[in-house]
A and B are shown apart, each in its own frame.
Chain A
Amino acid sequence: MTGPLLEVRGLKVEIAVPGGMTRPVRGVDFSVAAGETLAIVGESGCGKSLTSLAIMGLLPRAARLAAETIALKGLSLIGLSESGWRRLRGERIAMIFQDPMTALDPCYRIGDQMAEVLRQHRPVSAEAARQRALELLTRVGISSPEQRLTQFPHQLSGGLRQRVMIAMALLCEPELIIADEPTTALDVTIQAQILHLLAEIQRDTGIGLILISHDLGVVAGVAHRIAVMYGGEIVEIGERDAILGRPLHPYTEGLMHSIPVPGETRRGETLGFIPGTVPRQTGELTRCGFLERCPYATGRSAAGPVPLREAADGRLVRCVLPLDGSGRDPAAWTRQAEGV
């Protein structure tokens, strides 16, 4: 048995702000196998995007990274030089961003942008680069690819631009693709098509895929495993259907109760919600990070930092409650005073 494709242990990100230090990522562990899709889910400020940027070596200058392990097939990415990163990015790890309009250069034709990426990494002729670009535009389902090569990003629709982004990510046959909210900027009818494409490419090429999203609906259709992040920590990680079918961390449970689902939730019925807001991530955690917002919080939640524990089905949960799901009342999510 070979090791995982990507291994991350003890990943922390700190950012100095006036009057102190914020800790948006507080020690995150996960791994991704080849051929696997791991979804990282959470709301704004939970640290999911910084986690992905850390893996790409793209953290903002002000951020300080600490980690025990960030390794791609055994190659440590910690302390990699800038030239080392440049060889790696695009070649072995590629990224697909949320908004393809800002991720593509508006001043260059699609074909030139794609060729530039390829020729950065491979000693190929301009014609060979063009052929490869054509091949990939076809692969991602773009019609009349020859014409697209000569077009500028603004001449394409949002869905087409995202397909171009995916084609660019595939140029050098990377082992890992990180897709950060790849469909958030797209219309709903396009969203499903792009997710199909990502899933299909992942199946065909056996790459590892990290899908970052705030939308549990997106995740449900694509992920094999799910990591739920809250306040810079993974609070629950495990198999997709286990987590969506029976969330064990109260935060995951609260999220699932917050989503209206046509055909399941009645019209106008009171939806569940998570009271309060995400606290500022300063200082070390001395207790459960979700305590203030949790309807199930007990004295033990405040006793100290909560470690991840393994539930019967193998998932890990950062909660002091019994991990068989007992002693909970889902009505708690709608019963609380309307939180502000």
Chain B
Amino acid sequence: MNVLEVRGATKTYDVGKTLVGAGRTLHALRGIDLAVRKGETLGLVGESGCGKSTLARLILGIEGPTSGNVTLAGKPVGGYGRLERAKLVQPVFQDPYSSLNPRMRIARIVAAPIEVRGIGTASSRRERVRAVMNAVGLPEHFTEVYPSQLSGGQRQRVAIARALVGEPEILVCDEPTSALDVSVQSQILNLLARLKRELGLTLILISHNLAVVHHLADRVAVMYLGRIVEHGPTEAIFGAPRHPYTAALLASVLSPRPGARLPEMRVGAEFPSPLAPPPGCAFHPRCPCAGEGCATIDPDETRDGPRGYRCHYPLAHA
């Protein structure tokens, strides 16, 4: 069953509006369709400005879509009250230095989601906090310290504990390891992989780091300028991308192995402005495979078993 469904969601923002000027429209999301099953990890990848964080905000109910709908557990996100929604979906943000209240002790930070919902008694909440801190690998004596006394990796564990304490249906992790050092990043990846295994978590993992997404995601959705241009099972997408943009992203992964060469990037450098999306396929100005029709006709999604892509000239199967 799908815990999350997004149908035809768009999001636009009016920018640059002045008293006399009309301003312009920024197209952050231009029609997103997405379904996530319970227990599944969906990786959302794409360059900055592709709309992945806007999509996360819609899923979290921080903002509503301009058109289309976002359904959580069978009901539109907007139909839930704030506390009901918090029970269903919780965020983990990129920067654990700014996402934790510096004036609260860890125990209070972690307990906040169940405290505001008035779940249990003070002592049962304390018990729950202890259990969840244990689950994310934080020692018990950390309950009484402040965030400033913790390292980046420890803080990110606190953020994950806080997200998990109310047993949400979905965890939305927006670049959960990007602010961390390499050796710490791997600890958080191990933790998320373990929680996924043990708790059957449903995870939306947003990252620009393809290696991180490959490591954790069951399915991948590649976003470009407010659209999902390719999606499918992780192995299939990484094994044989059909969309040239996916291929470019995969090629850009730098290997630390000896003899690794810098990849030859065949895509143009300029990410287009979401204020003026190119006509036709939005990727065509950068695309090495662009041909007739790409500049004028917006490609519909082509389905291919469990995967789909939007491209007039898809790459061959491997």
A residues at B contact (CB < 8 Å): 43-44, 157-160, 187-193, 195-196, 199, 214-222, 240-242, 244-245, 254-265, 267-274, 277, 338-340
Contact = CB atoms under 8 A, between A and B. Distances in A.
Interface in B246-295: 248-265, 267, 269-271
Interface in B186-200: 186-187, 189-191, 193, 196-197
B15 to A, nearest CB: 14
B90 interface: no
B269 A159 contact: yes
B47 A188 contact: yes
17 contacts: A43-B181, A44-B181, A160-B270, A188-B209, A188-B253, A189-B269, A196-B265, A219-B256, A220-B255, A221-B261, A260-B215, A261-B257, A262-B238, A263-B238, A268-B215, A273-B183, A277-B151
A329 to B, nearest CB: 18
B112 interface: no
Interface residues of B, number: 55
Contact of A339 (B48, B187, B211, B234): B187
B186 A271 contact: yes
A220 B252 contact: no
Contacts of B211: 259-262
3 closest A-B pairs (Cβ-Cβ)? A217-B254, A216-B256, A274-B183
A190 B252 CA distance: 9
Residue among B234, B251, B271 with the most chain A CB within 10 A? Answer: B271
Given A43-B182, A262-B214, A270 B193 contact: yes
A215 B186 contact: no
Interface of B: 47-48, 137-139, 151, 153-154, 157, 181-187, 189-191, 193, 196-197, 208-212, 214-216, 234-235, 238, 248-265, 267, 269-271
B182 to A, nearest CB: 5
B139 A268 contact: no
Contacts of A190: 269
B230 to A, nearest CB: 15
B193 A189 contact: no
Nearest to B261: A221
A192 B183 contact: no
B262 A260 contact: no
B197 A268 contact: yes
B275 to A, nearest CB: 13
